[in-house]
Amino acid sequence: MISEVVLQTLEFDKVRDQLARHAAFSASRELVAQLHPSTDGQWILQAQIRTSAARALIESFADVSIGGARDVRPAVEHARRGGILEASRVQEIASTLAAMRRLRGQVLRNHPDFVPLHPLAEQLPNLATLEHEIERTIGPDGEVLDSASAELGRLRSAIRVAFNRLQERLQAIINSSQYADVLQEPIITVRDGRYVVPVKAPQRRALRGIVHDQSSSGATLYIEPLATVELNNQWRELQLAEREEIQRILAALSGKIASEGMPIILGVEATAELDLAFAKAKYSISLRASQPLINAPAPADDLHPESTVSLLKARHPLLNQDLVVPTDVWLGGPTQMIIITGPNTGGKTVALKTVGLMALMAQAGLHIPAHQGSRLPIFGKIFADIGDEQSIEQSLSTFSSHMTNIIQILDRVTPDSLVLFDELGAGTDPVEGAALARAIIERLLNVGCLAMATSHYAELKAFAYSTDGVENASVEFDVETLSPTYRLSIGLPGRSNALAIAERLGLKRDLIERARATISRDNVQVEDLLAAIHRERSTAESEAARALELREDAELVRDRLSRELYEFEQDREQQLASYQRQLDEELREVRAELRRLRDEFRSVSVSRQWMEQAEQRLNRVTERVPQPPIPPKATTPVVPKVAIAPAPRTIQVGDQVFVSSVKLSGVVLDLDEEASEAEVQLGGFRLRVDLRELRLEKAGTAPTQAVQKYMPAQRMINTPPPPPNVSMQLDMRGWRASDVENQLDHYLNDAYLANLSEVRLVHGKGTGALRQVVRTLLKRHPLVESYNSGSQGEGGDGVTIAKMSTR
């Protein structure tokens, strides 16, 4: 447990004051006032994670807040004890319920960064029924609404009627000429809740009524006329009845609130905890703070891998964050204690308080104003002897006060403690003070705790240099500007700079030389050596900063080149995809052109000249396919080709073949090896079939002769006999659209060979899909001359009549 004296010494109470400014209502401000650094590692880690989650939520959704929540716990407790709440208190409870319901929805978002806040949000009650009941009964101004009950609405209506009657009667009295000389002035006023008129005292008997009051001079009496007494009574009785009805309504609401009392109280406490987390998050944002690593292992590239305290660019939270000079502090492992030396007002005490306050803030669940990656252990105890503790009441000098405090610290210090001493050994003889300081340091080293101390004693510089576990440190001072830089430099002791400062301030040269001559030669050499070390270290730091700057520039260039390379690769991939799409499109056009040429081939007469023209057109279409340029680092894309199915037999143009699909013999007119198809003359019509359907019957003569044999000028005299039993009607109802083309094509071929002039295709009406497929095929079929729907007697749109070609 860390004492309140240490909290005040390190000014943690001022941190709490700053934090309280970010709390939204009294319950969370009470939690801020009770906030105390913990020594429980699990609680500290959970509090740090909760603060980070609250900051992530606020930075993601700026509208997150506790809304109109109030600390209604006293009112709820009063209701639970059977008390009747005032309307304004009931309205505050409704506002709090609404705020908790909204807050619950805002926090319970499905995002992994907000999960640490979910346990608190789940404690927020969702009492929508009670909330709506209160809103229906109590208005925004805290008054019970007329709609709260039918009886209250009736009473208020009656009150308005009674009041209007009373006012009308009083207006009639003050406007009557009969009482013009009786009234002090023609007005209506109120005394003791009764409406009265001001009457001149000498004329009191001219207006019969009840005297309720008189003026301070006695010249005016406030009389309730007898004519309005009954109206006043009715009005007052209705008001009392209204008050009783309001009390009954509020009692009912108070009972409902009491029945939900515990969830409401727990919800207020959870809301206060959430608001405390929001306050910590807002405070973190204002300080540009970060979550410290608590007892986390150091990274492999850390210069001090065994450090337990590692503060990166730490800033004292109570100083102006835009003006304070950040400092790096590492402590722990081989460095158990740091002794800071240097001039006054140089920042030694600020460095002590910064480390101590950072530890307190971290153990209270607060982020610390330092860069990400800063680490802190969990200190079981923190001790601080800082400032002038001179006590007049106890007749203690500064030295005695410090020693009393140091004795108490040495009696209570443990290995998990942090000890901070300001001006250790000061206030007494320098020789004895330095010896005492060394003894105290050795005691702390034996205990094994971590410690920091400031001092002016030169002996302690040498002691720190020669003692394991102790490290020198200094705060830098700019002699040219006579001002401290507030930068803490660990590893080098501070210089006094007294003679340099005196010289810069104008002390005569001869006095400076005389003072220098009185200093021992060893001390002068030590000061000169320290000055040289400071200069060399400053130069090294400048070079390191320059190297870091160059490294950052190189990383920026590397990142830019990596980004450009990535964009180049993306662009290349997009270009390849574009070329591939273009090739696919061109190939689709080529295939469409080939299909169109095949369709033409079916419907036109074949001649050598026409075949040569078709071949030239096909070549021109193929030449239009562009070859994509070869992009860098990419192989030339290969244009896919249509696979050629191998013919089962060697068939040439002019051969006589048997077509298995129609069971007829014919002559081959043309071969399309790419599509594995052949054009065959079957009697008086041509048929395009797959090569696998052909069986060679007789090798033909020269191809040209075979083709010329079947030129249009020549008509076949001997045609194959028509297939037997070809019906004039084909019923396709129930067919699938994919079955139509092959089966209907075969039927039309048979009908043509049977010399049928027309056929009747029954497909039904249905959705019209089958009819559309049938008519699309008929439209381009070479054996069909025309087609139309059947008449009403023939089936209408459910039937298509196709007229066969006579060619």
Can you tell me whether residue 453 is helix, strand or coil? strand
Beta bridge partners of 138: 144
> Please, which residues have CB within 8 angstroms of residue 29's CB and are 6 or more apart in sequence?
20, 23
Distances from the Cα of 338 to the Cα of 341, 426, 665, 683, 705, angstroms: 10, 17, 111, 114, 113
The DSSP bridge pattern shows strands 309-314 and 327-331 to be: antiparallel
> Please, which residues have CB within 8 angstroms of residue 149's CB and are 6 or more apart in sequence?
245, 248, 249
Beta bridge partners of 294: 376
Sign of the Cα pseudo-torsion (193, 195, 198, 202, in order) = negative
Beta bridge partners of 627: none
In 3D, which of 82, 397, 127, 382 has the Cα closest to residue 250? 82
Contacts of 573-579 with CB under 8 Å at 24 or more apart are: 575/631, 576/628, 576/631, 576/634, 576/637, 579/628, 579/637
Beta bridge partners of 484: 477
Helices 737-753 + 769-780 axis angle, to 10: 40
Ligand-binding annotation for 343, yes or no, is yes
Q: Count Cβ atoms below 10 Å from residue 634 Cβ, excluding itself.
A: 14
Q: Based on the number of CB atoms within 10 Å of its own CB, is 551 exposed (0-12), middle (13-18) or buried (19 or more)?
A: exposed
Instruction: Give the integer Cα–Cα distance in Å for 629 and 623.
Output: 16
At 409, give phi and psi (nearest 5°). Answer: -65, -45
Instruction: Give the integer Cα–Cα distance in Å for 91 and 144.
Output: 10
Q: Count Cβ atoms below 10 Å from residue 712 Cβ, excluding itself.
A: 10
Ligand-binding annotation for 628, yes or no, is no
Q: Based on the number of CB atoms within 10 Å of its own CB, is 434 exposed (0-12), middle (13-18) or buried (19 or more)?
A: buried
Can you tell me whether residue 484 is helix, strand or coil? strand
Using only C-alpha atoms, the chain has a radius of gyration, in whole angstroms, of: 52
Burial letters 62-77, b for 16+ CB under 10 A, else e: eebbbbebbbbbebbe
Residue 396 region, left (φ>0) first, then alpha (ψ -120 to 50), else beta? beta
Answer yes or no: are the C-beta atoms of 356 and 382 closer than 8 Å. yes
Ligand-binding annotation for 209, yes or no, is no
Instruction: Give the integer Cα–Cα distance in Å for 20 and 272.
Output: 12
In 3D, which of 473, 423, 419, 407 has the Cα closest to residue 444? 419
At 388, give phi and psi (nearest 5°). Answer: -90, 105
Distances from the Cα of 241 to the Cα of 139, 141, 164, angstroms: 20, 22, 18
Distances from the Cα of 243 to the Cα of 135, 239, 251, 751, angstroms: 19, 6, 12, 103
> Please, which residues have CB within 8 angstroms of residue 123's CB and are 6 or more apart in sequence?
266, 267, 269, 270
In 3D, which of 448, 478, 310 has the Cα closest to residue 381? 448
Ligand-binding annotation for 342, yes or no, is yes
Ligand-binding annotation for 348, yes or no, is yes
Answer yes or no: are the C-beta atoms of 17 and 283 closer than 8 Å. no
Go through the chain and tell me how many residues it has. Answer: 807
Ligand-binding annotation for 365, yes or no, is no
Helices 87-107 + 261-287 axis angle, to 10: 60
The annotation places the binding site for ATP at: 342-349
Binding-site residue positions? 342-349
